[in-house]
Amino acid sequence: MAHEAKIVREMDWNNDFGMNTVLSHFGEGEKILGAVTPPIFQNSLFVFDTVEELFDSMTNHPGGPKHHYSRMSNPTVDLAEKKIAKLEGADACKLGGSGMASIVVAIMSCIEAGSHIVTLDTAYGPVRSFISDYLNRFGVTVTYVDGLCTDDLLDAIRPETKLVYLESPSSILFRLQDVGRIAKVCKEKGVATAMDNTYNTPVHMNPHKFGIDMVCHSATKYLGGHSDITAGVVTGSRERIDKIQRNEIAYFGSLLHPFSAWLLNRGLRTLTLRMKRHEATGNTVAGWLEDQPEIERVHHVGLPSFSQRELYHSMMSGSGGLFSFEPKCQDEAKIRAFINKLEIFGKGISWGGFESLAVPLQMQPLNYLEPKQLVRLFTGLEDAPDLIADLEAALPLLH
């Protein structure tokens, strides 16, 4: 018998369902025409029977079930937002067109002319540029700290500080911060907190549980998982997210497009399975590299030698496939030759997809006397022995 309209399956989501069940079914009670995969609402606007219903949808239901314009909300986008909010333990979520788009709206929602921001010297480079260069035009100032000493970070807070922006682990050097203590003190001082959780995903850490106000992701990475979308996430309280929707999302027009949201929903279904594989492969490859004579140091939170191992275990339930290493040879030309020799590892700046990647980077954090040449690796879904063989064939170029 053909389906006449839709199948509705109601589940009591107050029950303690596991993450994989949430990823598979949460928010999908309505099966349009019995379709197991929700359709794409690839439309720009929504029409109503009356003007009154139209105006009601615009004024009383921001981001809710009454969609009116896909610049503000869309059913396909809404489904992905509900899933991610549930996974992060947040009231609400908004999706943007890229990780940077979502980070920018989160930052902008907290500041005004003359505000001060505290963040990390090893935060994502474009975020540092946005704060230091772009926001500087509006009198916003910033203090950079290494984040290794919580007291130093908290001492950097001023009366005009509006935001503490964290990455735990941070970019390239994978430094952790004591997220719970920082969030507690910031709440006492009335300072907002935001954290980039792209590395961890909700599989390995929920910053909201530690008191962080806003959690951001580049969903281009693990959440999407297939290297076919750019997308961003910001989660938080209903009040914060509604405010971001009314202001930053509405004015900047940065809501994720429906087709990308549909692909994101597809990627989320296999998130936990992929994360287990990335973690296992990353730990294996990083552990092998640590034993090679050409390598000075490997920066990977999953290694037993990781200097913040105790803090790692107190906040995170696992690691991932992204890490970096310092070659003993600091000759930039030889490092590039080593990377160019790799056959399985692609040369690319993103990560979090199915494919392994390698890229040379230079870092000079506050506590480094001189710049360091590093190699950042991402281990994808290939077999670990094949990745190790690829690295082993290229290591002689670092002599």
Q: What is the pLDDT of residues 372-392, one digit of tens each?
A: 999 999 999 999 999 999 999
Number of H helices, E strands in the chain: 15, 14
Average pLDDT over residues 93-115: 97
Predicted local confidence at residue 240, as pLDDT: 97
Least confident interval from 15-19, 79-83, 358-362: 15-19
Asked whether residue 6 carries a pLDDT value surpassing 90, the answer given is: no
Q: How far apart are CA 364 and CA 172, in angstroms?
A: 11
**Is the previous residue joined to 169 through a cis bond, with omega within 30 degrees of 0?**
yes
Query: How does strand 116-120 pair with strand 214-218?
Result: unpaired
Q: Is residue 238 predicted with pLDDT exceeding 80?
A: yes
Model confidence band, residue 33 (pLDDT cutoffs 50, 70, 90): confident
How far does the chain reach from its first CA to its final CA, in angstroms? 71
Give the sign of the dihedral formed by CA 328, CA 329, CA 330, CA 333.
negative
User: Sorting pLDDT into bands at 50, 70 and 90, what band is 252?
Assistant: confident
H-run or E-run covering 24: helix 19-25
Secondary structure (H, E, C), 118-154: EEECCCCHHHHHHHHHHHHHHCCEEEEECCCCHHHHH
Give CA–CA dist 312/6, Å, rounded: 46
Output Rg (C-alpha) for the chain, integer angstroms.
Answer: 22
pLDDT on residue 367: 84
Stretch 235-254: mean pLDDT, rounded?
Answer: 92
For residue 294, the model assigns a pLDDT of 98
**pLDDT recorded at residue 32:** 82
What tens digit of pLDDT does each residue of 44-77 get? 999 999 998 888 888 765 544 578 898 888 999 9
Q: Reduce the DSSP state of residue 341 to 3 states and report it.
A: helix
Report, as an integer, the average pLDDT of 295-318: 98
The rounded mean pLDDT for the chain is 93
pLDDT on residue 280:
98
Question: Tokens in use for 263?
Answer: 């692909």
pLDDT over 90 at 369, yes or no: no
Q: What are the two backbone dihedrals, phi and then psi, of residue 155, each rounded to the nearest 5 degrees?
A: -65, -20
Q: Which pLDDT value is given to residue 61?
A: 58
DSSP 198: T
Give me the residue label for tokens 């004024």: 59
pLDDT given for residue 3 in this prediction: 44
Amino acid code (one letter) for 26 = F
Q: What is the pLDDT of residue 60?
A: 62
Over residues 164-203, the pLDDT tens digits come to 999 999 999 999 999 999 999 999 999 999 999 999 999 9
What's the rounded mean pLDDT across residues 14-37? 84
Residue 2 has pLDDT above 50, yes or no: no
| Orientation angle between helical segments 271-290 and 384-394, nearest 10 degrees | 40
